[in-house]
Amino acid sequence: MDKARKLLIAGNWKMNKTVAEALDLVRGLQIEVGLVKEVDIVICPPFTALSEVSKAVLDSKSIRLGAQDLSQHNFGAYTGEVCAGMLKEFSVRYVVLGHSERRQFQKETDALINAKAKTALAASLKPIICVGETLAEREANITEKIVDTQVTGCLAGLTKEQMDEVVIAYEPVWAIGTGKTATSAQAQEVHAFIRQRVAALFDETVAKRARILYGGSVKPSNTRELMSQPDVDGALVGGASLEIRSFSDIVKNSI
């Protein structure tokens, strides 16, 4: 697939996989897609598996490591939190921020996600910032308003140079783990809107370079169609990233 921006296929393992299971998965992925150069591949295991998985991908030509969250603080009395420096110890390059599950269950706000993005960027970690509307918001026809507020809030105060390191993930909440994928036309419409907002907030060059991933029930069978949309620059995959076959087929179908 010939696109202006290099596609990025990221697997968000969420709260799944023991260390042993994580190693089985990553070793299988190394065999299947370990030499892929056409797309960037990122896997985001839970914190507890980062140490061992990082050793398994140390020499990988294609697979990079991501985390699922970080603290906005760099150290101190924040029980249960994990900071950027701790992630860097395991060669983590990316970090998912503002996932809808964290917005919902941990009550994360755009302001907090923005603070975390700044902390990540200061530590040379690339944030994958998630935005997306709920089903009620889509049905109320306020998808663009919601996504605009999230994009504006999460990217506030970032420089154009920092934006080069930022990945945005559009994940309609109603499509996450439900088997309901946004149609490629629905995804394209919101992706184009996000790019337009990035151009307004920064400039056209920043917007043209920004990678915008789609997430929500991505599977091997819908990957090609979604990735063929001009403003879809990759995928953030949940359930289908937990198995060697489905995740490697998603990677292969995106090439």
The correct pick among 7, 9, 12, 112 for binding ligand 13P (CB under 6 A) is 12
The correct pick among 45, 127, 216, 234 for binding ligand 13P (CB under 6 A) is 216
User: Closest Cα to residue 187, out of 132, 249, 252?
Assistant: 132
Q: Point out which span in 51-59, 196-204, 223-231, 236-244 binds ligand 13P (CB under 6 A).
A: 236-244
88, 97, 40, 85 alpha-carbon torsion, rounded to 10°: 0
Q: Cα(86)–Cα(220) distance, rounded to whole angstroms?
A: 34
Residue 169's DSSP bridge partners are 130, 213
Q: Cα(251)–Cα(241) distance, rounded to whole angstroms?
A: 10
Which residue's CB is nearer to ligand 13P, number 206 or number 226?
A: 226
The correct pick among 7, 112, 151, 236 for binding ligand 13P (CB under 6 A) is 236
Q: Is 234 in the site for ligand 13P (CB under 6 A)?
A: no
- What is the DSSP-derived secondary structure letter of residue 65? E
Give the active site residue among 101, 108, 171, 191.
171
Which residue's CB is nearer to ligand 13P, number 26 or number 206?
A: 26
Q: Are 162 and 121 in contact (CB under 8 A)?
A: yes
Q: Is 45 in the site for ligand 13P (CB under 6 A)?
A: no
Q: Cα(5)–Cα(20) distance, rounded to whole angstroms?
A: 35
Give the active site residue among 38, 99, 165, 225.
99
Q: Cα(250)–Cα(255) distance, rounded to whole angstroms?
A: 9
Q: Which of residues 153-212 bind ligand 13P (CB under 6 A)?
A: 171, 176-177
Tell me, yes or no, if 144 is annotated catalytic: no
Tell me, yes or no, if 73 is annotated catalytic: no
| Closest CB 242 distance from ligand 13P, rounded Å | 9
| Closest CB 239 distance from ligand 13P, rounded Å | 3
The correct pick among 92, 137, 239, 251 for binding ligand 13P (CB under 6 A) is 239
Q: Is 218 in the site for ligand 13P (CB under 6 A)?
A: yes
Q: Which residues of 168-201 are buried (b: 16+ CB within 10 A; e: fewer)?
A: bbbbbbbbbeeeebbebebbbebbebbbebbeeb
Which residue shows structure tokens 């949309």? 229
Task: Convert residues 75-104 into a mask of x (bound to ligand 13P by CB under 6 A) and - (unbound).
Answer: ------------------------x-----
List residues near ligand 13P by CB under 6 A: 12, 99, 171, 176-177, 215-218, 236-240
